[in-house]
Amino acid sequence: MMNWRWFFNILVGLLCLVVDFSDTQLVINVRNQGGDVVQENIFANVTDDTVSLEFQRSDGTLITQVIDFRNEVQILKALILGEEERGQSQYQVVCFIFHFDKDSFISSDAMSKLRQKNPSTIRTPEEDLGRSNYSMDYTVVLPHSGLISPFVADLCAEAGEATYTRHADLVLWAAAQGIPETTYLTALKKFPSSVNHFMSNSVEDDVRPSVSSCTSMKKMRSPCQCHLELCIGWYPCGLKYCKGKGQSKNSVMTYRCGIKTCRKCHLFAYYVAQKQQCLWDE
């Protein structure tokens, strides 16, 4: 008898483990604006208080979004396939780090509890939040990036110096953490010395290099301002609340009854040392 019970317990334990792992990841089929269907993988880690969302665009670009709720940091990484016939390497990776507004994505806890009834359904978001523009000011020094978020160094390892952030975001993080902006200085680097004469020396000033846009740049080896648009086609941007009858007579109770879904685009402008690294911007 004892042996059977022991066996049964182990079996139950294994089943729970399997269920737990498969359930933390959500696979969503999303129809994008071009009409293609892309598969988004969304994963919440409640311990870390993070949500990761990953998908491959129809042009092959692999996009990873990580939200670090604790530090109010959002990381957008793009792995872009190169155009080998034009002398590019197989792929390049860029990482953009910016402030995350706490109410713009459901919590990691709510995300981890999200289930879908019909996994094969092709989804479109309820609301299009349009596009935000970001002009990146700094390269993030990965070995010191833990000052911003502990997840940057690993996630952006392949991007290396192509990891960018803005001064405006540092101001928000410093305020949220109650520390001076200068705390972040060791984690930041101005753009390479060839364009440093375009910039001043203090954190507070506008440090954007005034190199011209890669769009108008003819020389492949010259530095320029590259543009890259990354859109998240579908994500849970808020909770929906419904009203129902409460426990006592005439009382009204509000309860969670679903999620609101959104689409949002991010247009990044950032420095590249050579037009070669920005061939799509034409």
Ligand X SMILES: *[C@@H]1O[C@H](CO)[C@@H](O)[C@H](O)[C@H]1NC(C)=O
- Residues near ligand X, by CB under 6 A: 24, 45, 47-48, 133, 267
Q: Which is nearer to ligand X, 82 or 150 (CB)?
A: 150
Q: Which is nearer to ligand X, 47 or 121 (CB)?
A: 47
User: What is the secondary structure of 178-246 as a DSSP string?
Assistant: T--GGGGGGGEEPSPGGGGGGS-SSSSS-----PPBTTT---TTS-EEEEEEEEEEEEEEEEEEEEEE-
Under DSSP, the state recorded for 69 is T
Minimum CB–partner distance for residue 47 and ligand X (Å): 4
Identify the bridge partners of residue 236 per DSSP, sorted by sequence position: 261
Closest to 112 measured CA to CA, from 36, 43, 167? 43
Q: Which is nearer to ligand X, 185 or 265 (CB)?
A: 265
Minimum CB–partner distance for residue 153 and ligand X (Å): 13
Q: Which is nearer to ligand X, 48 or 181 (CB)?
A: 48
Query: In angstroms, what CA-CA distances link 185 with 112, 138, 173, 230?
Result: 35, 10, 13, 27
CA distance 149 to 121: 35
Minimum CB–partner distance for residue 107 and ligand X (Å): 15
Query: In angstroms, what CA-CA distances link 96 with 222, 242, 254?
Result: 22, 36, 38
Q: Which is nearer to ligand X, 155 or 203 (CB)?
A: 155
CA distance 53 to 64: 6
Under DSSP, the state recorded for 247 is S
Closest to 43 measured CA to CA, from 59, 62, 66, 60? 66
Minimum CB–partner distance for residue 17 and ligand X (Å): 11
Minimum CB–partner distance for residue 16 and ligand X (Å): 13
Q: Which is nearer to ligand X, 24 or 222 (CB)?
A: 24
Query: In angstroms, what CA-CA distances link 124 with 39, 128, 236, 264?
Result: 12, 10, 11, 12
Q: What residues contact 122, with CB distance under 8 A and at least 6 apart?
A: 29, 30, 31, 37
Q: Which is nearer to ligand X, 171 or 267 (CB)?
A: 267
Minimum CB–partner distance for residue 247 and ligand X (Å): 36
Q: Which is nearer to ligand X, 24 or 61 (CB)?
A: 24
Closest to 278 measured CA to CA, from 205, 211, 195, 202? 211
Minimum CB–partner distance for residue 50 and ligand X (Å): 8
Minimum CB–partner distance for residue 45 and ligand X (Å): 4
